[in-house]
């Protein structure tokens, strides 16, 4: 028996029809919309420890919170958020210590 017996093929005067598959760019498990936000939160928090104590920590807290609210499941958002708070507390404590040391001599 012929395996192509029930198949419908276009005749010689009909061109074959090709249907393009729908494409999704930038959507899926490999790229998450908040992935770059979480990475930025982590970098800002780390820079808050070494270069920009208050500003970097606040940016890390804000960006980490945004990434977590957008549903990013990775640890970068949480690490940026937590390190931002730690850096903010240490930065404020360091500035307070320097202020007290300047006043009390």
Q: Is the pLDDT score of 18 beyond 80?
A: no
Q: Indicate whether 4 belongs to any domain.
A: no
Q: Indicate whether 22 belongs to any domain.
A: no
DSSP string over 70-85: TT--SHHHHHHHHHHH
Helix, strand, coil share (%) of the chain residues, nearest 5: 60, 0, 40
Q: Indicate whether 1 belongs to any domain.
A: no
Q: Indicate whether 26 belongs to any domain.
A: no
**Integer Cα distance of 19 and 31 in angstroms:** 26
Q: Structural domain tally of the chain?
A: 1
Q: Is the pLDDT score of 101 beyond 90?
A: yes
Q: Indicate whether 73 belongs to any domain.
A: yes
Q: Which domain holds residue 49?
A: 36-104
With tokens 């249907």, the residue in question is 19
Q: Indicate whether 91 belongs to any domain.
A: yes
Q: Indicate whether 24 belongs to any domain.
A: no
What is the pLDDT, as a whole number, of residue 52? 87
- Per-residue pLDDT reduced to its tens digit, 38-91: 999 999 999 998 888 899 999 999 999 999 888 887 888 999 999 999 999 999
| 105, burial (CB in 10 Å: exposed 0-12, middle 13-18, buried 19+) | exposed
Q: Indicate whether 96 belongs to any domain.
A: yes
């Amino acid at each position: 028996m012929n395996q192509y017996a029930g198949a419908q093929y276009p005749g010689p005067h009909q061109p074959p029809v090709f249907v393009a598959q729908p494409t999704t760019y930038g959507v899926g498990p490999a790229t998450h919309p908040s992935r770059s936000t979480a990475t930025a939160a982590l970098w800002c928090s780390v820079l808050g420890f070494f270069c920009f104590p208050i500003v970097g920590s606040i940016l890390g807290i804000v960006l980490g919170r945004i990434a977590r609210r957008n549903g990013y499941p990775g640890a970068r958002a949480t690490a940026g958020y937590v390190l931002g708070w730690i850096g903010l507390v240490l930065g404020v404590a360091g500035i307070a210590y320097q202020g007290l040391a300047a006043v009390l001599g």
